[in-house]
Amino acid sequence: MQQEVDAAPRSSVVSFGDRVAETVERKRSQIVLGIDPRVDLLPLELRAGAHASRSAAADAFARFSRGLVDAVSPYVVGVKVQLAFFEALGSDGMAAFEDTCEYARNAGLFVIADGKRGDIGSTARAYADAYVQDAEGTKPLVDALTINPYLGGDSIEPFLTACRRSGTGIYCLVKTSNGGSADVQELTLSDGRPVWHQVAELVAEWGADLSGEHGLSSVGAVVGATYPRAVGEARRLMPQAILLLPGIGAQGATPADVARAFTSGPASALVPVSRSVIYAFKVDGADWRTAAAAEAARLQREVWAASGW
């Protein structure tokens, strides 16, 4: 992999792990709001007209995202924005994605782009440029990107360079929350371990020299809270990784299922919650912002308590 002269961190760069640690401890929250907008599920005031065109839908997504950020920012440390839903609206959607990222960062929140990207080295570098690498005079678009490990170490290298230089992070898929994760991730290797254990060891290796003062690496891992036993195993295999644990709420997991993820510190795991918060208004009939804030506050308390800190 080509090394650049400017790949060294600037003296002022604080590592992603340290930034997360400081924010989690200050806000006493490990919750990340998952922004997964769908036209059909939007609050009525935003849905009206959103079917008219792609740009109208994108505008509605941006307004929904801004409203959610305003409502929940006291209770969460960041947002995880699902690229697929914005991409489905083409270039209009990507403009709304950029608006959402900027708005959330201005509100003091971390932004994780949930894109699950992965490609060979020269192309992975373009993804790093797109999301987690600062360019001349501009900040990276987001603080972290989810990535897919199937292409191996040389596909990760450009992200590591970007993380080191820009104080950003990546979350590598390790054991995902869906049922089908068994098809590849749970295949049994010749030494008896599942494939995902080996991926976890690779993640630990990739992130080994990217740890900050709090002992947390810029290279994190996605592990489904829907598999509580895997959460514990992942913690053991990747002691320095910040675990991103989707699956609480609509997918059925509970705060108790993620408790064992926090043994490396209060910020050693983050819990994204999406549908149960952003569409909470459908359950209790309250204003959508009020409903989202109440649900986020409840989850903040419950996860913090479960974490034991």
Residues forming contacts to its own copies in the complex (CB under 8 A) are 36, 82, 84-85, 87-88, 90-92, 94-95, 97-98, 114, 116-121, 123-124, 126-127, 129-130, 141, 148-156, 173, 176-185, 187-190, 192, 195, 198-199, 202
If residue 52 lies in a helix (H) or strand (E), which one and from where to where?
Answer: none
Shortest distance (Å) from residue 74 CB to its own copies: 27
C-alpha–C-alpha distance, residues 304 and 293, integer Å: 16
Using DSSP, state whether 162 is helix, strand or coil.
Answer: helix
Closer to its own copies by Cβ: residue 186 or 287: 186
Closer to its own copies by Cβ: residue 202 or 303: 202
Give the pair of three-digit tokens for residue 94.
Answer: 């990507």
Report which of 118, 113, 116 is spatially closest to residue 80, judged by C-alpha positions.
113
Shortest distance (Å) from residue 194 CB to its own copies: 10
C-alpha–C-alpha distance, residues 150 and 164, integer Å: 22
Closer to its own copies by Cβ: residue 91 or 290: 91
C-alpha–C-alpha distance, residues 90 and 74, integer Å: 31
Shortest distance (Å) from residue 59 CB to its own copies: 13
Shortest distance (Å) from residue 159 CB to its own copies: 12
175 is catalytic: no
Report which of 126, 50, 133, 135 is spatially closest to residue 93, judged by C-alpha positions.
50
Closer to its own copies by Cβ: residue 74 or 153: 153
Any idea what the Cα angle at residue 112 is, between residues 104 and 20, rounded to 5°? 85
C-alpha–C-alpha distance, residues 29 and 75, integer Å: 6
Closer to its own copies by Cβ: residue 12 or 190: 190
**Are the beta carbons of 15 and 167 closer than 8 angstroms?**
yes
Shortest distance (Å) from residue 257 CB to its own copies: 17
Given 27, 80, 116, 282, the catalytic residue: 116
Tell me phi and psi for residue 193, to 5 degrees. -85, 155
Residues serving a catalytic function are 116
